[in-house]
Amino acid sequence: MIHPIHTEVVANVKSRDEILSFLFIILTFTSFLKYHQNKEKKQLFYGLIFYFLAFLSKEYAITLLILIPMLLYIVKGSTLKESFISVIPFVLVAAVYLFIRFSIVGKGGTIENPDVLNNPFKFASGSEKWATKIEILNHYLRLLFYPNPLSSDYSYNTIPYTNFADPRVWMSIIIHLSMIAAAVVLFFKRNILSFALAFYLLHLFLVSNFLMDLGATMGERLVYHSSFGFAVMIAVAADWLFKRFSKNPINEGGLTQTAKAESSSLVQSSPSGRLGGASVVGIALGVLITICCGVIIIERNAQWKNDTTLFIADAQTVPNSALVNGNAGKAYIDLSEKPENKSQETELIKKAIYYLNKSVSIHKEYVNGYLNVGVAYFKLKDYDKARANWDIAKEIYPNNPFLKNNLKLMGTVYYNDAMRMGAKQPHEALKLLEKALEVDPNNSDYWYNLGGVSYTVGDFEKARNAWTKTLILDPNNQQAKQGMSALPIKSK
């Protein structure tokens, strides 16, 4: 309950699916075990309903087809045959869900996503993909043991690609194969640790990118279910240690009778209700862990207040993430637009440019990065740099709807500046109008005024071409028609 890695699941609205899935999985276990104990058919009915709801929340529920028989065999002492027969109703529910799912959405998308932010292994070779996926399993394990620092994003290039020459990859292989072997051996010994390991590993497998590409390297929300298995393992290990502590086997043969009596009083509850030594140690460790986790959680919750606070904080945690740097840059742009930050506007925009340039240096095809750095330069009135970045975005994604609006806005700025110059600086006005037409070539007003300024400076051919284009875009433009009639007749 107090593990800091769960902050994202609670604070991120998107992760309601994780919470509901886990809730219905636990309710399924609870109802089914009640049915197994009391043979009340309504409990079985409740269990099947909860199981279907777990599937509707997220497809992690498929793991229960293995975990329910395991729990019966280990905890209830059922035979293997009895355990697997008991799960048949749940198999039928899973079949109904899968039928509904595939009849509605089919197999889903089968085309590889072209953007590395949604296809994190795009630039990795075949062996690098597998090595990186395997090594990432250790990241989850580390965060469960030591949840600091935490991040909302682990996309490209937060976790660099690796290969099988990396000892960390082999360490991950050894650790997780050992966990699998332990789960199998302990299962036949009916040890609850087998269930805990299976709960951890099965849910981890579903988010590991081994079975299918998730579109994400890893995520703290994705280990929410597995963390239950981890918690059970910790609880079982702590229980074993406390029991060992209670027995106090240390140098027992060398203790005097008085010492033995004193030692015994530390580990047993007295008639007056005093806590034994093991209980005191357990409570002390529980309080210590809660305080340590609470400090991290309180700080992390504050960072999750909104997009601005989250991404600015995470830019320090995962400095190699293209997405986080891009979002941090956008956050600084948003801050610069707040009235209370008017005196810091330029400084905030420069910070935005720093993070946005960093994001596009990490991911060369990051369209939103180029769009936003263009916005930042636009706010600084550095229109050439703004347009240069928007041109790059246009090359990558020509039909981006935001790009079209940005270019129109830039065209308006060039046009207004040209109009202010007017007859006083016609040649400069001409250049600005040409720039306006480069970013918004289908604006008939720009073409008409380009014709007017060209006429003023005596470039009749350019005026003729501009007004001709005006009439193509706006056939009823009377001013353009008048302008054309005022032009000298072309010599043959």
**pLDDT tens digits for range 73-94:** 999 888 999 999 999 999 999 9
Q: What is the pLDDT of residues 126-167, one digit of tens each?
A: 999 999 999 999 999 999 999 999 999 999 999 999 999 999
Say if residue 267's pLDDT is above 70: no
Domain topology for 409-486: 1.25.40
Longest dimension (CA), the chain: 128
Highest mean pLDDT among 64-68, 268-272, 451-455: 64-68
Q: What is the pLDDT of residues 38-84, one digit of tens each?
A: 889 999 999 999 999 999 999 999 999 999 999 999 998 889 999 99
Q: For residues 201 and 179, is the Cβ–Cβ distance under 8 A?
A: yes
469 CB burial (10 A radius; 0-12, 13-18, 19+): buried
Mean pLDDT of 375-402: 92
Handedness of CA 301, 307, 312, 317 (dihedral sign): positive
Mean pLDDT of the chain: 90
What pLDDT, on the 0 to 100 scale, is given for residue 404? 86
Mean pLDDT of 10-28: 95
Give the number of C-alpha atoms closer than 13 A to the C-alpha of residue 444, restricted to the C-beta side.
Answer: 13
What pLDDT, on the 0 to 100 scale, is given for residue 109? 66
Identify the band that residue 210 occupies on the pLDDT scale cut at 50, 70 and 90.
Answer: very high
Q: For residues 412 and 444, is the Cβ–Cβ distance under 8 A?
A: no
Identify the band that residue 254 occupies on the pLDDT scale cut at 50, 70 and 90.
Answer: very low
Q: Which residue has the higher pLDDT, 188 or 283?
A: 188
Rounded to two decimals, what is the model's pTM?
A: 0.83
Nearest to 155 by CA among 112, 208, 117, 122: 117
Is 307-391's fold the same as 409-486's?
A: yes
User: To which residue do tokens 């990490």 refer?
Assistant: 362
What pLDDT, on the 0 to 100 scale, is given for residue 241? 81
Percentage of residues of the chain with pLDDT beyond 70: 92
List the alpha helices (DSSP H) in 304-400: 307-317, 322-336, 345-362, 367-379, 383-396
Say if residue 273's pLDDT is above 60: no
Identify the band that residue 111 occupies on the pLDDT scale cut at 50, 70 and 90.
Answer: confident
Mean pLDDT of 272-294: 79
C-alpha to C-alpha distance for 44 and 57, rounded to whole angstroms? 20
Q: What's the token pair of residue 482?
A: 């008048």
Q: What's the token pair of residue 166?
A: 């990396």
What pLDDT, on the 0 to 100 scale, is given for residue 366? 95
Angle between helices 167-188 and 192-206 (to 10 degrees): 140
Q: For residues 209 and 222, is the Cβ–Cβ distance under 8 A?
A: no
Say if residue 102's pLDDT is above 80: yes
Percentage of residues of the chain with pLDDT beyond 90: 71
Name the least confident of 262-266, 300-304, 420-424: 262-266
What pLDDT, on the 0 to 100 scale, is given for residue 270? 44
Q: What is the pLDDT of residues 333-388, one digit of tens each?
A: 999 999 999 999 999 999 999 999 999 999 999 999 999 999 999 999 999 899 99
What pLDDT, on the 0 to 100 scale, is given for residue 259? 37
What pLDDT, on the 0 to 100 scale, is given for residue 278? 67
C-alpha to C-alpha distance for 371 and 391, rounded to whole angstroms? 9
What top-level class would CATH report for the domain 307-391?
A: mainly alpha
- The DSSP call for residue 208 is T
Q: What's the token pair of residue 200?
A: 């951890």
Say if residue 248's pLDDT is above 50: yes
Which residues have a Cβ under 8 Å from the Cβ of 375 and sit 6 or more positions away? 333, 386, 406
What pLDDT, on the 0 to 100 scale, is given for residue 113? 79
479 CB burial (10 A radius; 0-12, 13-18, 19+): middle
Amino acid at residue number 53: L
What pLDDT, on the 0 to 100 scale, is given for residue 388? 93
The three state secondary structure string of 382-432 is CHHHHHHHHHHHHHHCCCCHHHHHHHHHHHHHHHHHHHHHCCCCHHHHHHH
Q: Where are the domains of the chain?
A: 1-107, 124-248, 307-391, 409-486
C-alpha to C-alpha distance for 290 and 286, rounded to whole angstroms? 6
3-class SS at 338? Answer: coil
